[in-house]
Structures are given as C-alpha cells and as structure tokens.
Amino acid sequence: MNIRLTANDLKSKTKINITGSKSETNRLLLLKALYPNIAIVNASNSDDSEVMNSALTSNNQIVDVHHAGTAMRFLTAYFASQENKTVTLTGSSRMKERPIKILVDALIQLGAKIEYLENDGFPPIKISGQKLNSCRVSLPANVSSQYISALLLIAPSLQNGLELELIGEITSIPYINMTLKLLNEINVETTFVNNKIVVKPLDQDPKSKTLIVESDWSSASYFYSIIALSKAGTQIELSNFKENSLQGDAILATIYEQMGVETHFNDGKITLVKTQNSIKQNIVLDLNSAPDIAQTIAVTAFGLGIGCQLTGLHTLKIKETDRLEALQIELSKLGAPISVTNDSLKIEPSKSINSNQNIATYNDHRMAMAFAPLALKKNINIENAEVVSKSYPNFWNDLKKVGFEIS
C-alpha cells in the first residue's frame, strides 16, 4: 500500500493513546512463558509482540518470526533452555542476513545445542533444548543489547543463575537496565557492576503479579517530530508515560528541547508543546544508548533546516535494513546534504525540501514513520506504508487524528 501524505493545518490540541512498549512487552512475554503467574496489562499490539506471543504459546516445531529481530534473539535463548523441545527458528530473507552467532556462541558456552541450517552465524537455526548447567559466559559489549537481554531473561530459570561478563564498551545500557529492572519486579536478584552482570536463580515461581507496560517512547518520537515541525502553540497529549521510565528512548524529552518542544508530565500523561523558544542550529548527539530514535531525529533536523551530527549508530547497520544507508538514499531524494559512515551521520543545514518524492521503506517500520512528519513541510509519498504494523499498527489512523490527510 502506497500512500500520499499532506498536512496543511494541524489541530491545536489532540489526545493520542499509544500502545504499550514493544521492548517491555516482549521481555514480559518471555518471563510469563517461564513463570505463568505473571499477568501483563497494556501489552503492545505490534506485529513483533504478536509473533513473540504466538511462538511462546504454540507447539509448532518450525517457528517463523518474519522480520521480528527481538523475537529471533529472545526465542533463541528461550528454546535453548527448554529441555526436550526441538525447534527450528527461521524468518524473512532479511532475517537470514542478520547475525546471531554471538548469541549462539554464548548459549553454547552455557551448554546449549544449536546448529545452523543454511549459513554459519545466521538463521535459520535448529535448537535442541537442554538443561543449561554452566553459569558463566562472556561476550563483546558493543553488540546488540538484545543478545545480552536474551541471556538475562532466561538466567533466573537456570539452576545456577548467570554471571555475564561484557568485554569492551557497552552499547544500549538503558535496554540492559530495563531487563534487569523487570527481573527485579518479579523478585529476581541482580547486580550490574562495571562490566559484570550477575542474575541469581529464582528458586520458586513468583507469586501472582500484574505488571503494567508503559507506553512506547519510540512510538512517541514521531509526535515529537510532528510538534517540532508545527507552529508555536501546537500541542499533543500522549497517554501512559512515566517520568522515571525504564525505556532509553525517554531521552527524547531532553533532546527535543533543542528543537523547540517542551514535555509536560501530568498524571501518567505527557503533553508535547511547540514553544516560541529559539531552535538550536546544530544538533550534536551520541545515540549509543538510544539508536532507534536516530531516524526520527535526523528527519526532524532536516525538516527544520538545521544541522545534525549523530554518532553511536553502529547497530543500525544490522536492523530491518541498513538504516544508515537507507537514510542517506531517502533524505538525498528530498535534497538533504547528508553523509554517513559505519556509525554516524551528518546533515548540513538546508532551506529547501523537494516535494512529491516517493520514500522507500525497505521493510522497515521506522523508515515509514520517521519520514511521515515531513508532510508538514511538503507533500510526501510513503511506499509500502503497511510496514508500520511491525511496531505501531494504529499509526496512520493516529496521524489522521492530529490533522494529516492520507490518500
């Protein structure tokens, strides 16, 4: 489905309900599979979470996660720890290009039995569930935090828990802390000192507990972009957000102050307000801890006509697409002076935007949603717009609520 976006006059104030965090939901779904006494409220309705839930509750011997990278990593660890269960884990053609060797090697160190069915280091993989008796493992610290979280989530179910040593500079620490805090909520003891994480085994199932999932800050990022590109005084209220969030992407509230957006917290909601304040003319950020919001920030900066230098982006190369290359191609169509390296991007200030361009989405939900706010500046066409269902199925309907026209 290809769509055309226009946005001439936004409503001055709109209320939007955003579904639960995909990151929190997927972690809690795995913990619920291990400990059925857990109940989850405000779970994400994303494709990724649906895939995760379906895989955890089915008895199929072949599990296809499609484009869901989180599910691939988390399920690899989960099925490896399930004794006497044999599963083949596969995915889309892009998923078969996304590396999983570091996680598989770590699980094998713990005693897992996993074999590659096509190419070494990549899905599909055949997992023969074992009792994992070892408790010490090490892996590079600058890899996707999902490898680390996958190991941490199964750790309390292991006989001896887990001692995990991270070698080098750690990437995406907020996501690791999120995992540890969710473990703490079900009374799992953890420590994270320097580069060593220890998770104690849970000797008995946790008592019945209901966990409420905070709404997704990554999804909120697109409304930050919309407000940044709107006229002063425009407001959007978003539901179910915490000032002391577990999500690394909550740093949006601070980052977008540089682009004229204030965040007001009140009774579990946030109100985003475009102010009259001057906008910083060059945004310089290290997004090592929150790489998923890089696309939104880059597109916002271009739309505002300001410079932008983002570093700490090395994990974007192995996402749904090579996001750095995709950003360079699509922003260049619009006239952006952009350059990228393996872990950074730079956009020079530009006062003009090419209109009526077709934005390719590369099977990547964030490409579709990050570029949509530019319709406030010029008409824009989004190819394969249905890809947003991976994380935010209601996205296009919510854009209509704030005043976008979609045809």
pLDDT over threshold 90, residue 142? no
Supply 128's token pair: 């023969």
State mean pLDDT over 165-189: 92
Say how far apart CA 268 and CA 245 lie, in whole Å. 11
Say how far apart CA 146 and CA 16 lie, in whole Å. 29
Q: What pLDDT sits at residue 12?
A: 83
Are 122 and 96 contacting, i.e. CB atoms less than 8 angstroms apart? yes
Q: Which residue has the tokens 């995915």?
A: 91
- Let me know the angle formed at the C-alpha of 243 by 32 and 319, rounded to the nearest 5 degrees: 60
Confidence of residue 9 (pLDDT cuts 50, 70, 90): confident
Say how far apart CA 383 and CA 275 lie, in whole Å. 32
pLDDT over threshold 80, residue 237? yes
**What are the Cα distances from residue 132, in Å, to 31, 160, 184, 370?**
17, 9, 22, 41
pLDDT over threshold 80, residue 172? no
Q: What pLDDT sits at residue 318?
A: 66
Are 96 and 88 contacting, i.e. CB atoms less than 8 angstroms apart? no
Q: What pLDDT sits at residue 262?
A: 97
Residue of 216, 249, 292, 364 marked catalytic? 292
Three-state DSSP state, 336:
coil
Q: What pLDDT sits at residue 285?
A: 96
Confidence of residue 371 (pLDDT cuts 50, 70, 90): very high
Where is average pLDDT lowest: 120-124, 142-146, 157-161?
Answer: 142-146
pLDDT over threshold 70, residue 181? yes
Are 362 and 324 contacting, i.e. CB atoms less than 8 angstroms apart? no
Q: DSSP letter at 374? A: G
- Let me know the angle formed at the C-alpha of 80 by 77 and 85, rounded to the nearest 5 degrees: 135
pLDDT over threshold 90, residue 2? yes
- Give the pLDDT confidence of 342-370 residue by residue, as tens digits: 899 999 999 899 998 999 999 999 999 99
Q: What pLDDT sits at residue 322?
A: 87
Amino acid type, 82: Q
| Average pLDDT value over all residues in the chain | 94
361: how many CB neighbours lie within 10 A of its CB? Answer: 24
State mean pLDDT over 203-221: 91
Secondary structure (DSSP) of 301-332: HHHHT-EEEEE--GGGGGSSS-HHHHHHHHHH
Q: What pLDDT sits at residue 396?
A: 97
Q: What pLDDT sits at residue 187?
A: 93
pLDDT over threshold 80, residue 261? yes
For the purposes of burial, counting CB atoms within 10 Å of the CB of 8, is it exposed (0-12), middle (13-18) or buried (19 or more)?
exposed
Supply 200's token pair: 């104690």
- Let me know the angle formed at the C-alpha of 216 by 212 and 221, rounded to the nearest 5 degrees: 160
Three-state DSSP state, 67:
coil
Strand partners, 239: 269
Q: What pLDDT sits at residue 53?
A: 96
Q: What share of the chain is helix, strand, coil (3-state, %, to 5)?
A: 40, 25, 40
Handedness of CA 109, 114, 116, 121 (dihedral sign): negative
Are 345 and 306 contacting, i.e. CB atoms less than 8 angstroms apart? no
220: how many CB neighbours lie within 10 A of its CB? Answer: 26
**292 labelled catalytic:** yes
Q: What pLDDT sits at residue 278?
A: 80
Q: What pLDDT sits at residue 283?
A: 95
Are 123 and 89 contacting, i.e. CB atoms less than 8 angstroms apart? yes
- Give the pLDDT confidence of 292-338 residue by residue, as tens digits: 899 999 999 999 999 999 999 887 776 767 889 999 999 999 999 99
Say how far apart CA 54 and CA 52 lie, in whole Å. 6
State mean pLDDT over 217-241: 95
For 383-401, letters b (16+ CB in 10 Å) and e give ebbebbbbbbbbbbebbee
Secondary structure (DSSP) of 146-167: HHHHHHHHHGGGSTT-EEEEEE
